[in-house]
Amino acid sequence: MRKQLGHYWWAFMVMAVLFLPGCEQQTIKHILVDPHLFANQEVGVVGKVVSSYSVLGHGAYEVDDGTGTLWVVSNNGVPREGARVGVKGTIHDGFNLGELGAILKLPEAVRSGVVMMESQRKVKD
């Protein structure tokens, strides 16, 4: 029970610190159902990193919040797989990394599709 309360406390703190200043927290499912609703808007999600790829401080990682998964593109490194994160960024539908994605051998979902361009991240191991 105590450990479970710790998870809720962590989630509350992430939301309070990261998302209150002008950022709307959403579920990934809600974003993916109608990505145009969130296109070019800054939103926040909280979840677990299930995949990550990084080259020279740039990369992408996949976040699962229990309702779906979303790829996040970062210019500031990526968190390790299994880390719990609160991330905010701008949603882009139809984002295309072109040949760079193929060279880095990133999954097709990252190379072209709905992604979040990270602007801020908070990691809790």
pLDDT tens for 53-89 read 888 888 889 999 999 999 999 998 899 999 999 999 9
DSSP letter assigned to residue 31: H
What is the spatial distance between Cα 15 and Cα 2, in angstroms, rounded to a whole number? 20
Residues in the chain: 125
pTM above 0.85, yes or no: no
CATH tag, 2-124: 2.40.50.140
Compare 97 and 86 and report the one with higher pLDDT. 86
Alpha helices, H only, the chain: 2-14, 28-33, 35-38, 98-103, 108-111
H or E segment and range at residue 54: strand 42-55
Is 28 within 8 Å of 47 (Cβ atoms)? yes
On the question of pLDDT at 111 being above 80, the answer is no
Domain ranges of the chain: 2-124
On the question of pLDDT at 2 being above 60, the answer is no
On the question of pLDDT at 20 being above 60, the answer is no
Other beta carbons less than 10 A from residue 98's beta carbon: 9
Specify the pLDDT at position 17: 44
